Structure 1
Amino acid sequence: MLRHPISFAPLTKILYSEHNRKRQCFEFNRDKDSSMEKVAFGPRRLGHVNLYVSDLEASLSFYERHCGLARVRMETAIGAGFLSNGNTHHDLGLIEISRGQDRHGRDGHVQIQSTRGRHPGLNHLGWEMENQAALVAAYERMRAAGMAPHALYDHIISHAVYVSDPDGNVHEFYADSMKNWESVFNLDHDDLVTSRWDPLSSERSTTSNYNPTPSLRRPAPSEMPTRHVTGASLATRRYDEMMRFMQEVAGFRLLAETASPARSAVFGGTTGRPDLRLTEVGTGQQTGFRMFSLMVDPAGFSRHLAEAPVPATARRIVHDDREAVVLADPDGFLVELYASRDDAFLEPLALAHAS
């Protein structure tokens, strides 16, 4: 394994306060009225990452073996699997790429068109809302601003509004609809989960169904001591438009911003966690989803790296605030496994340091 001590560019503007339908990408015009500013979904935190992968079983096995996650649910009919460590119903969702056929939900609707997910890439980032009342209220503000959702779904365990950003990345804003998600997300079930949902005819419950103190799965001694997903990185050439979307539509809090060596911003939800890094890239550089982060237990991290086999391509990173290893999964997606020096949530690595 390679070891690469690095130094991070300082953040120049620190703002930390407290801890289908056709794809529609929002085009922002600064001369329009300010109704967009009133949408602001305002989620709590990043709940999960969902990826299209070329080989479902190979990717599931990789994340189990090297990342300490356990599969908790399968949907064989649509080629999907879900992994978690007990933090929530899933930290990571994986869907095998389309093979030229539509995939249908439990009510018979076309859930995934044959033209979507043809290549490995981001399906969506899942953002946990406080409750269903907050989700429906944000959806109503979205309608009032003249915006159409990418999709509206009932997943049994949650209800969700899907929204595309200016680059076409899909963001799922969801509210858990039950506290006992294990009754649905378990390996005894393999039936379809998703149907269409009408927010306006739904109960506007103010009950918060997420678990603020979940019981995490205790990994075996040979497994990475992973806690949960804590961050994702997106690269863009439309930095100003994406900044406006993240703050005015998604309703994220801007926690930090830097202008050098490239413009970059860190966003978080209402919990104050640094959940998303947005980085400006130049012509010819890859845009879109680049990496996600998993927080691990510091006590067992160094021991695991010393004793357990990891891919030869893994990159070891040591810095004042963290010790980390960056892996590439079977499709080349980067995943950062990090242990914080003071056991705090940390923003995703800058792309220049992770690549």
Structure 2
Amino acid sequence: MDGLSTYELPEVKFSPRRLGHVNLYVGDLAASTEFYTNIAGVELVRREPTIDATFFSNGNTHHDVALMQCRSGAVRKGRDDYVQASSFRGEVPGLNHLAWEMQSEAVLIEKLKAGTANGLEIKFSADHLISHSAYIEDPEGNYHEFYADVTEDWRSIFNTDREDLVTGNWDWQNIETPLGPLRSDMEDKRRVESALFHARCVSRAVIAVEDLGYSEAFLTSIAGLTLIEQADGVSAYRAEMSAYDLLIVSADTVARPGLVGFSLLVEDEADLKASISKAGGKGIIASVTDAGHKMSAVVNDPDGLAVEFYHPREADGLHYLPSHGDDPSWIFDY
């Protein structure tokens, strides 16, 4: 897009590997925990009752989805009274943050040093025991977490036997020997058998914004995402190791700005078909797509957020850019 230079943003280019998880503020933590466990089929792996939070994963990573009860902008404290990034926000259900997985702690620290020297503002830096993170606010007020895993044995920390506080301060400026790449065990696969759907992992998200140009400048110059395609108030982006991670749409094409929805990958097509058939009798599916390149179903969570369950029949990525229409599920027509 012409005119990117008109937005005064530091050149950072975090260039993350992929979208790692979505963290949501919810109106009813119990109802949303029930939905993501027993409808979406993502296993509850951690509760943190002190901050009214739950975390979910089927083994792909320490968490693909996290939920936090709305608290009217209250302060949430972690270990040693650390004030967390979820504080002062979350008056209504919606996005807490999108989390982007970095190649390593070493790369993350390198980007933070270069970025802050160039004027980058870090809202919070956090030690989550399983990962180290920096939180950056985009021009629309959305938080983006850039994180690096710091243990391969995340299940020793994220499990339902523990409910202690996880997060503390991360003094990234004084790390003498930052860690190199660490990866989760890709053979670690869990399944909530009793659930309606059986998702494997989060893959992409959709955010509605007021200023498309400013958002593009942030996503390319700071986040370091690659613009795949754009037209008519819609832009698609990818991270370094994935084909399609983020769709940005104009806020006037959807109900409201902010997170509109996200997608969960289902690895088995027959399983997804069976889930759609069962869900049909419950009246919970907003739309179904049965196309040459994918099968998908869209379901609204308890706060009305659109959640797509999909199985790719071809390479998983952007096949064409969605174009807005009357059907609210148009954002998943890719």
Fold agreement, TM-score > 0.5: yes
- Give yes or no for the alignment of 1:270 onto 2:261: no
State the partner residue of 1:249.
Answer: 222
Kindly state the Cα deviation for residue 255 of structure 1 after the two structures are TM-superposed.
2.0
State the partner residue of 1:5.
Answer: none
* Higher RCO, 1 vs 2 (CA within 8 Å, ≥6 residues apart): 1
Deviates more, 1:300-309 or 1:66-75: 300-309
State the partner residue of 1:295.
Answer: 265
Partner deviation per Cα, 1:309-335 (whole Å, 9 max, x = no partner): 544353222223211111111111111
- Give yes or no for the alignment of 1:181 onto 2:154: yes
1:335 aligns with one of 278, 301, 307: 307
Gaps in structure 1 of 5+ consecutive residues: 1-12, 14-27
Partners of 1:283 and 1:343 in 2: how far apart?
28
- Give yes or no for the alignment of 1:323 onto 2:295: yes
State the partner residue of 1:280.
Answer: 250
Gaps in structure 2 of 5+ consecutive residues: none
Amino-acid identity (%)? 37
Q: Residue 69 and residue 284 in structure 1: after superposition, are their counterparts in 2 closer, same or farther (change >3 A)?
A: closer
The alignment yields a C-alpha RMSD, in angstroms, of 2.5
State the partner residue of 1:307.
Answer: 278
Kindly state the Cα deviation for residue 87 of structure 1 after the two structures are TM-superposed.
0.5
State the partner residue of 2:141.
Answer: 168
State the partner residue of 1:52.
Answer: 25
Kindly state the Cα deviation for residue 115 of structure 1 after the two structures are TM-superposed.
3.5
- Give yes or no for the alignment of 1:211 onto 2:184: yes
Q: Confirm or deny: 8 A CA contact 1:52 1:96 kept in the other structure.
A: yes
Kindly state the Cα deviation for residue 346 of structure 1 after the two structures are TM-superposed.
5.2
Q: Confirm or deny: 8 A CA contact 2:85 2:124 kept in the other structure.
A: no
Q: Confirm or deny: 8 A CA contact 1:70 1:84 kept in the other structure.
A: yes
Partners of 1:313 and 1:303 in 2: how far apart?
13
- Give yes or no for the alignment of 1:36 onto 2:7: no
Partner deviation per Cα, 1:261-312 (whole Å, 9 max, x = no partner): x221211111033010111233995211110100102231102222355443
Partners of 1:322 and 1:271 in 2: how far apart?
20
Kindly state the Cα deviation for residue 222 of structure 1 after the two structures are TM-superposed.
5.0
Partners of 1:294 and 1:166 in 2: how far apart?
27
SS at match of 1:88: coil
Q: Confirm or deny: 8 A CA contact 2:10 2:222 kept in the other structure.
A: yes
Displaced runs of 4 or more, over 4 A: 308-311, 345-353
- Give yes or no for the alignment of 1:124 onto 2:97: yes
State the partner residue of 2:66.
Answer: 93
Q: Residue 59 and residue 166 in structure 1: after superposition, are their counterparts in 2 closer, same or farther (change >3 A)?
A: same
State the partner residue of 1:344.
Answer: 316
Q: Confirm or deny: 8 A CA contact 1:102 1:112 kept in the other structure.
A: no
The letter for the 1-side match of 2:310 is Y
1:231 aligns with one of 196, 199, 204: 204
Q: 1:7-156, aligned counterparts within 5 Å?
A: 30=6, 36-37=10-11, 39-99=12-72, 101-111=74-84, 115-156=88-129
Partners of 1:206 and 1:153 in 2: how far apart?
16
